Structure 1
Amino acid sequence: MNILGNGRMLPSRLTIGLFLLIVCLTACASAVPPANPAPTVPYTPKPSPTSTATPTALPTLPPPTAVPSPSTPTPTPCAVPGRMEIGSYPSVTAGQMNYRIYLPPCYGLDGRTYPTLYLLGGNNHTDAIWDDLGVDEVAETGILAKQWPPLLIVLPDGGWIANNSSGGPGSYESVIMNDLIPYIEQTYCAWGDPSGRAIGGLSRGGYWALEIAFRFPDLFASAGGHSAALLDQYAWPAVNPQYTGLSQNLGDLRIYFDIGADDYVINNIRQLHLDMETAVPPIPHTWVLNEGRHEEAYWQTHIPDYLAWYSEPWPLDRTKYPTCFQ
């Protein structure tokens, strides 16, 4: 130790070194972090504010329209189509005779009988004429549409006897009344009652339909003459429709005449119409004067009219028909 002359002692080098060491330790201690530092929270920058657009209002939609359920189709009489059959029957008067018959859809399946329409052809025709004109197709369409009831349509061949006789016993009348109708009603489910029978014909067949029905009005519901050729010069008053239509008590027989204005056979049937109209009392009948001539195109055009008229008194409800015992 050095002692100054004024009595103070100068610090030695050792003392100065210790002093510096103490100062250094104190400063370093303040710079050391604590043993368990608090956890550091990472910095997450805030997103920049985004401008919020005001949504555009959607148009107001009308309420949904209810979709209708598919309509149930009108049931047809059945899935089995009608058909035309060709056959023959024995005739005491004329030998074996041919015929055709239209059987409606589901024929025979419900166990009931059917009203029956007999349609006769002209003197140059066979049993094919009404078939060729399409009567079965027209009938099928109307039956499926429920315009008229299922019915049988019988198309007989007139043959030589229809062209060479005028009426009465032993004529084509006997073939129809004694042979054909009994055969049809025994062989098929035909409604064997006068209310279930109708007869009609075109040209010469119209003559025969009226000849038969006017002589046996209580055995038929309806009779039609379509362009009826009342031209038989050999027909006597007891069989000629121009006379029997006026002299016979026709009762409730429904009668239909139609013809084309340009038909060459119009005179006699028009006269019968006038005579029935002016009779006292008038004889009920339907008279239809159409445009047309004596030809197949005329009859084909009016088949729907004929079937509608013949079917009018027959019920659509099949339960109203008698049971078939075939």
Structure 2
Amino acid sequence: MNDLTFDPKLRRLDLAARAAWLYYIKRRTQDEIAVELNVSRPNAQRLVALALSEGLVRIRIDHPLTKSIELGERVRERFELTFCDVAPSGARGNDAPSGVAHRAAELLENFLSPKTPQVLAFGTGRTLREAARLVSTMSRPDHKIVSVVGNLSRDGRASPYDVVMRLSDRVGAQCYPLPLPVIVDTEEECAILKAQRGYRTLQDLYEQADALMFGVGRLDEHAPLLIDGFITPEEFDATRRLGAIGELTSRSFDASGRVIDDAIARRLTAMELRRSPTRPTILVASGREKAAALRAALVGRLGNGVIIDEDLAEALLCDAQ
């Protein structure tokens, strides 16, 4: 007779395999497994755990979101994030909201759901604007929705990517826009505007905000700041010469995530960015073309959470290798 038949370790693995088959395939309870294998209930529980630890059980999740979930976990671990949500990538019509916008809307509803007063602060951007439109209507008259970036060009034209007014209308919240040019002509003018009572009120609310959500902007020839006329080509070129690779709330940063402080930055009316935030600071972006900008923002600890799509997640992980 083969002596291996009586090997206690192999015998226990046999029992573990039987316990796992009963638990995962037959859907038996641990009490039922204990009776069938003639062991105690705690022992039945340990046998199922042993089957997992020894690799006797392989769990496969068969769902369209499996890839998104796996990518999200890898991005979260790679950049040490507290929150990461990855939406499936896919073709969509010009008027159809993106998966990222839907996910951002869901998170916004979570932030807005408490009836106790909340302060939420926002940047701007196409995806954030879509998300605000998708938020379910509700009544939150004690909540405050705050903009941290100006919404005008220097000639007085309004930004097409305003978020706070749209969102405030959806949820009946108090709206605090920043009705100033994104960038002004002189540092002196900027200082005067920031000294106004209304600006200081918004600044205080920004510091008190329970959560923040910013769109991530690229700084290349397709940069919205340039295309939409918020900064001149000369200002754009000067920022690029200093290594600017992306922007949050119109404030540019380089590949290391260092916020650039130059003469242009000192004429911006946007609130200052905070590194290593302790409150939820969610960066929202989609598309591989945002990879360099988003990666720099995460390396610089300018946010602690992201909502992105699969294409961008894959590009982030590829760049990080």
**TM interval, short-chain normalised:** under 0.3
Higher gyration radius (CA): 1
Q: Which has the higher helix share?
A: 2
Q: Which has the higher strand share?
A: 1
The structure showing larger relative contact order (alpha-carbon pairs under 8 Å, at least 6 residues apart) is 2
TM-score (norm 1): 0.24
